[in-house]
Amino acid sequence: GEDVEQSLFLSVREGDSSVINCTYTDSSSTYLYWYKQEPGAGLQLLTYIFSNMDMKQDQRLTVLLNKKDKHLSLRIADTQTGDSAIYFCAVLSSNTGKLIFGQGTTLQVKP
Amino acid sequence: DAEITQSPRHKITETGRQVTLACHQTWNHNNMFWYRQDLGHGLRLIHYSYGVHDTNKGEVSDGYSVSRSNTEDLPLTLESAASSQTSVYFCASSDTNTGELFFGEGSRLTVL
């Protein structure tokens, strides 16, 4: 079945760049998303990319998509302590219409 | 502003009791979803609905049921709560065009 994989934990120093990676198996994916979850809260959409795009930039966020390798990454420039959260990769399958989530990557930002 | 709300936010219950978690959205979205979030598993889909009177099973639907009698609400019922159903439950609704999910704040359920 469809699967989305992420590493579980990433620790960086404040001011450094963070790169969170995600791999997926569904080649029919149309939209790919990054969600952020702060403690005790629901998920909020950070950004998304269409499957026909390679890159999308939005202020400090850069999303890179390698369709051939089914690899998605989220780069956060100048990471701040407020960026500490769990980041979820999610993939929308055009076959099933369902959004499949990865396990989430906990980003820890050290001062 | 349109929103999606869940209630209760926290609930403690006993094994074997019936529990219903409410979800109400004012986005007028046709698509609604229930997920559970557990450490090491991320978000797993329980049930979903693409419109009034439509309900479908997700990957972890055993022990759960939903009903969709109107566009705004998708209540999730645990017929006989089990300790394995201790989790945080998220309701979401989606925009049909982009697939973007809008999440509620979550309901933390503890089954003793």
pLDDT in tens, A67-100: 999 999 999 999 999 999 999 999 987 777 778 8
Mean pLDDT of A38-66: 91
Which residue of A41, A92, A104 is in closest CB contact with B42?
A: A104
- Kindly indicate the confidence band of residue A1, based on its pLDDT and cuts at 50, 70 and 90: low
Q: Which of B4, B59, B94, B101 to mutate to test the interface with A (most CBs of A within 10 A)?
A: B101
**The pLDDT of residue A97:** 72
Q: Does B41 touch chain A (CB under 8 A)?
A: yes
Over pLDDT 70: what percentage of chain A? 99
pLDDT in tens, B28-44: 999 999 999 998 778 89
The alpha carbon of A20 is separated from its chain's Cα centroid by a whole number of angstroms, namely: 6
Contact A60, A36 (CB under 8 A): no
Q: For the beta carbon of residue B3, count every other beta carbon within 10 angstroms.
A: 12
Residue type, A18: S
CA distance A83 to A54: 24
Q: For the beta carbon of residue A96, count every other beta carbon within 10 angstroms.
A: 12
Question: SS in 3 state form for B72-112?
Answer: CECCEEECCCCHHHCEEEEEEEECCCCCCEEECCCEEEEEC
Contacts of A33 in chain B (CB under 8 A): 99-101
B89 closest CA partner among B72, B70, B103: B103
Q: How far apart are the two ends of chain B, measured CA to CA in Å?
A: 37
Phi–psi pair at A83, nearest 5 degrees? -85, -10
